[in-house]
Every structure is written in structure tokens, then in C-alpha cells.
Structure 1
Amino acid sequence: MPQARHIVLSLMLALFFALGWLALWTIGLWLSQNGQQAVLLLPAGLHLALMILLPKRYWAALLLVEAVLISWLQLEHLITQPVMLLSPLLSVLPAWICQSQWHRYTLYWQRLILLLAAVTLNTLLQGAIIGPWLEEAVTQTLLASFTGGVLLTPFIYLIYEYLKQQHLSDMLAQRMPDPPLRTSLLIWCSVIFAIGVCVQVSIAPDMERLLLIFVFLPNVVMAYRFGWQGGVLSAIVGSVLITLTRQASGAFHDLRELELFLSTQALLGIGLGIAVSRQQQLAQHLQRYRQQLEKELQARHRLMAQLVDTEEQVRKAIARELHDEIGQNITAIQIQAMLVARGSDAPAARQAAGQISDLSRRIHHTTRQLLRQIRPPVLDEMALDKALQHLAAEFSFADRGIDFQLHYRLSASPTDETLTFTLYRVVQELLNNISKHAGARQVVVTLEEKPGLLTLSVSDDGIGITEPVVSGFGLRGIEERVRALGGDWQLLPPPGTCITVNLPTKSRETAP
């Protein structure tokens, strides 16, 4: 069964290839009035494209059909040089090299460049081996072979990809995302072709050179709009327009001039299409990498926000344990020491009881300081504005001759506990830095709300930050917490210091 299927497919391919080859040879003969040049012009491009795109098991059928057709044309005296039988065989080497490298390149524009390289190699082989045996100049042979290849090989590849994707879409029962031939592409090509024909018919003979604008302009527009597909299809449309121009107005009086113009406009369209497709691919890659980076950043920010929230919860649990367990035990120790002192007349026992009571008071004081560092109790006891005023009082700014001002402009205290503690800790760290290092005479803390944001500003008229502060919560800690909650911060340079922090009012929802 596989062998029979291969034979049937080979026969069908041979039939359609023979019909297409004869039709293209007839067009080439009409253009060149030379049977040898007609073989090299369009049929050679069809032959090369099919040998590259089809499996090697079909090569024998292609070579046999073309050999039979050339032999028949020689019997009819339409081809006078027997050396033309070598032309199909010379295409084997470029096709084999191109096909061996085909699967290494998966992008359309990469394969298009590979096809152009195969066309160039085939042109050089035709010119070097067949050219010297023909009556025409070798440059004419090179130009005919290159023109046919650059026109038909990319176009056959475009049709091949379209048919292959249509087959895949039928098998998978789904629509391909970006087929090579789109309805809009065909419509635009038809419109441009119609406009070009109308201009060609209506333009005055003395202005025939203006037709070149209507030939090259569609290539630029189609390549820019549709990438390599538009460039390839506009090359074919432009070739038809150029040929009709020659027939209608005689704009091209020499075959070499016509072939040169055909190949030039085809290369222009394909080259622009490749450049646009390459640019589109780079833009798609950049967009994909940007999206991946955004996802990674979002995951990182979510993790940091969870860490900040978990840290506050752990601090809260530790503070509760310290307050409940250690506080109660210290109170019990103090009571026991008092009872020992009252129940014993021995001086040593009274002295020991006094030392125990003194040590317990020190432990109680140290524990309260530790509690304030771990979780400021004032935030559980009063609103944020009162807590900030209490915090400033702890630094004794007034006693030291420092003018402290708090501008609290929030309509209501934040409901997010993590946000509230972050604001408090940022102010605490900045006031601590000012108190120790700034030498300031005035400190201003401003807290105001904007749409979706809380803005905290802490400024002083001191010496400014001359080196990084690494102790305590630290500027690095401020930055990490602020960014974890989806905010940002800014440090203005001296004179003085001004740090502005922006935090979203719903940090868990707006963190980027």
C-alpha cells in the first residue's frame, strides 16, 4: 500500500508539474523569444522550489518529466541546444544543500533567506556550466536564471506553507494563529493590482517612467503591512504589472532590462518583508520576555508581601508571649521576693530578696523595651497620629531645642495593620537617624493621602546623609518593606535630608 500510494502521488505530481512547467515556459518564450532563455527563466524557479520543498523520493519524477519536456521541445526545434538537458541536473546540488539545512531553521524569514541562497547558487551553476554553450552572453543566462528563481521560489514556498497549514488545521480542527496567506493580504494585493493596471492604461506615454513608482510603492506598503508574505506576493504582482507595462507602452525595450527590473523589485519586496518579519519576531520575543519578567516580579513582590505580613504576625505572637508569660513570671518573682523580705529577720535574706526584686525590675524594664522594638504597643492602644506624636516625644526633641512638626492629613487611619506598622517603623527609623546623625534644628513629618496612595515625607535641615546607614532597621530595610508592599521611595540630596515614601492603600491588591 505505501508503495502504491507513492506511485499514485508521483504520477499526479508529474502531471501537474508538466502542465505548470509548460505554462511557465510559454510565458518565458513570449517574453524572451528564446527557447533556452525561457527554460532558465520561470520553469527553473518552479523546479528548484519543488525539489527543495518536496521529499527526495519525488526528485526522480521531477527530473524525468523535465527531461522529457526539454527533449520534446528539441524535437519541435523550439530548443536548439542539447546542453539544456543539464539544467535540471544542476539544480540537484543547491536543492540538496538547502534541504539538508532546512530543518535547522524554523522561522519563515530564515527559510526565505535559505531559499534565496539556493537560488543564487543555482544561478552560478547555470551560468558557469550552461552559459558558455549558449549563443547569448553569460550575464544574460545568469540574469534569466536568477530572475526566475527569485520570483517563483519564494512564491511556491508561500503556497506550500499555506497548503500545509490548511492541512494541519483540518487535522487538528483548530484555526492556525497566523497563516501565510490571509484574506486581507489577498484583498490588498488585488486592489493594488487593479490600481496599477488602471494607472498603466491611463498614463500618458511621455510619463511612462512614473510607472516605476506604482511598481515599487506596493512592494514597500505590502512588506511593511504583512511582512515577508506581503513582500513575496507583491513581488509576483509587481512582475505582472511590469510585464503588462512593457506590453502596453514599451517601457522596457530590452529583455535584460526587463529581467533586471523584475529581479530588483522582487528583491526589494522580499528584502523589506524579511526585515519587517525579523523586526516583528524581535518585538514578539521582547514582549514575551517582558511578560515573563513581569510575572516573576509579581511573584517576587507577592512573596515579599507575604514575608512582611508573616514577620508582623510572628512579632505579634512573640510580643504576646513576652507580655503574658515573662510579665507574669516577673510579677510572681517580685511578690515572692517581697514575701521573703517580710517573713525573715535575717539580714542576708533581706538583702537577697532586695537583689532579686531589683533584678526582676531590670528584667521587666528590658522586656518592655524589647516589646516596643518587636511590636510597638502604642499602635494597639491609640490611633496612628497619636502614636507618631508619642514616638516623637520619646526622642525628646523639644528638650534638645529641635522643632518637631507633624502634619497628619489622613481622613481616617489605615485599616491594613501591616501598612500601619510599616509607616510607624519607617518614621521610627528615620527619626532615630535624625536624632543620632543629622544635627538638625527642625524636623517635619508629613502624612497625606492621594488617590490610592499614602505619602509619607520626613525632612530635616541637618547635614544630610553622607554615608549609608546600616544600623537598626536601616534604609535598605525601608526600601525592602516599601517595595514589598508595592510602593516606592525617594531620597533627595542635601542640604538637609528629605525622604518620601509612597505606599498603596491596598498593598496586597496593588503590589506589582
Structure 2
Amino acid sequence: MSALWRINLLVTLFFTLVGAACLALLLRQAGQDVRRELVAAEAVVEYLRGAALRDPSALLPHLTGNLRHVRVHHLDEPVAEPPPGPLQRGLAHWLYPVADHPGEALRLADGSRVRISVDPRDEVDEIRDSLQQLLVLFGVALGLSLLAIRWAVRRGLRVLDELLGALRQVSRGDLQARLPLHSSAESQRLAGHFNQMAVSLERVKAENAELTQALLALQERERRQLAQALHDDLGQYLAGIRAQLFLLRSVTGQLPVVNCTAQALEINCQHLQDGFRALVRDLYPVVLERLELADAIRLLGEQWQQAHGIACRMQLADELPPLSGEAKAHLYRLLQEALTNVVRHAAASEVRVRLRAGPGRLRLLVRDDGRGAERLGCGGIGLRSMRERARCLGGELRLLTRPGAGLALCLSVPLEGVGP
């Protein structure tokens, strides 16, 4: 059953109950009033009976024809009026049961027979007319209410149909779906929230597409850098080692030349080993498998300081809660990316790193004394990757900056979601 039919059914039921209550009150009040009038009419009936027995001319039609609630029936004359219907009989019986037994016929002095009784037909007709008017009134009110409800609900359902259509468009990937603004405040709020949601989804989709393109570009750049490192750096060292080995074969009897060549081989091997370590460190933080998180972060800070000449002050907790391998990798990479951003954008001379475990949370603070900024935009792939890693950790990442005061990165991670 549709919403419109349910509303119509409820409204009809409500009008039926209210109409029944009004009918009951009307019948109750009318019954009390009619009974009082008919009891008073009994005195008139008794008076006419006595007057008719004394003088039959007292029952002439021009004298008794306009009396209310009193019926003078001449039994010797044919009945010209139609019999009452079932509704009239029922109401008459309910209003004044005595009227069902009009009493004995009177034989007058002129030999005619007559029956004088209380007649509730006038009151029955009035009550019947009142009931009919009340029913017509309720019927018209019900019809108008149903029409008004249909008009109002149709407008609301039209908005709902538009919303469902727009949601189908969104589910198919069409994020340009928008709802039109109608006159009602509710539909305007609904359309406003939906359109705002669609704009947000469209913006997120665009950001995801941009991020995907940036990730692909970064992947290609890293592959190119890896290929260049293997070809230009490590390849040269390997070529030099091979040439020096050929030289050793040819100068086996010349000890100074052998010593010099061996020393060059050792240097080349050291460069080769350092290059491979740098590549492995950039590809995956192997130190997390060999060291605790605090020691790995401390080693990262020392290597970063040596590589870039920027002071890195570490304040690490002596005991950190156990974390899963994935959580350690995200935290390590986030700090690594934060330090990389300091080198690229901050122009800082010092960086402070603090890692503390509080009640139920792990907090990381990275703060530099660089140039800062007036405000932070969407950021590049580095900032987005840090936000994504914070989301994977279930934490909250905040960036605070102002011109000349550097930048502070604050990460708060709940411990219940990052445990082993």
C-alpha cells in the first residue's frame, strides 16, 4: 500500500470516528430534548380526550390540525398519509417508546371513533434532517480533506520521485545530478543538502582522479629514478669493478698497482652497497623488521639529518605500546613524508619530532622552524598520502601553520585500532 493510500485510510478512519462521536452526541442531546417536549405533549393529549368526550366539535380539523406532537386520528376516515419508514419508526421508538402504543380509541357522542395520541413524527423528521445534514457536512469535509491531502502528498511525492531519480543517476556514476528548488521550505532543504552532497562527491571524485594521476606519475618517476640509479650509479660501479678485475689479471706481478686497484675495488663496492641500501630504504623500511619502532624512528632522524644537514631533535617515549606491522609502516612512512616535505618546502634549520603514548592514544608531533604559510590548500601528493595514512590508522591529522612560525603536524591515533 502506498503512502497516499495509507494517509487516506487514516484520515477516513479519523473522520468516521469523529462523525460517529458527533452523531452519538447529537442523538443523545436530541433524545433528551424530545422526551421533555413529548412528556409535555401528553398533557395536551389528555386535555383533548376529555374535551372530545364532552364536545366532539373540539376536534374539528381547523382546531387540531396545527398542533405539534399531537395526532388526532379519525378511525372512520380512510388513512391518507403514507406509513413511516424504518428509520422513522426506529427513531420514534428510541425517542418515545410510549408512542408505539397510542392507546384505545374513543367513541364520541356523535357516534364517531377517534384516537388521540402523542405524535413524535415532527421531532423524528427534525432529527433525521439534522443527521442527514451532519453526514453531508462530514462527507464534504472528508472529500475536501482527501483532495487537499492528495494535492499536498502529490507534491511531496514528486520531490521524492526527483530524489530517487537523482540517486539513481548518482548510483550510475553521474555525479552532476541536481535537484530543482521547489517552493516549500522542506523540499528546498532536501534539495540543498542533496546538491551539496553531489558537489562534495564530485569534488572527491575529481580529487581521487587527480590523486590517481599523481600516483601514476609518481610511480613512473620512481621507476625512472630507480632505472637511472641502477644504470648510471650502480651500473657504473659494476663496470668499474669489472674493468679493475681485468686490470688485476694483467698486473699480477706489480704489487703497488694491485694494491691501488684493490683499494679502488673496495671503494666501489662500498658505493655499490650504499646505493643498494638507499634504494632498499626508499622502497621499503626494512629497519621496522629488525628494530623497535622508536629505534627505527631515531635511526631515520639521524640518517635524515646527515643527508640534509638540518638538525633533527627527537623526543621519543621510552616504552611504546605494541603496534601491528601495518600500523608501524604507516606511522614510519608518514613521518618520512613529513621530513621530506620539510626539506622541499619549509626552508627550516631545525625539526623537532615527539612521539608519546597517552591514555588510549598515540600522539606524533613534527614541528619545524621554517617559513610557514598563511593557509594550507589541498596540498600535493605528499600531504594527501599523509592524510590517507592517518585515515588508515583511524587517527586524526591536523596541520597548524602561520607565516614565519613554521608548520606543526599533529597526529593522534587510537591505540585500540592499531594493536597487533
TM-score by length of 1: 0.38
Larger radius of gyration: 2
Would you tell me which structure has more helix in proportion to its own residues? 1
Taking structure 2 as the reference length, what is the TM-score of the superposition? 0.45
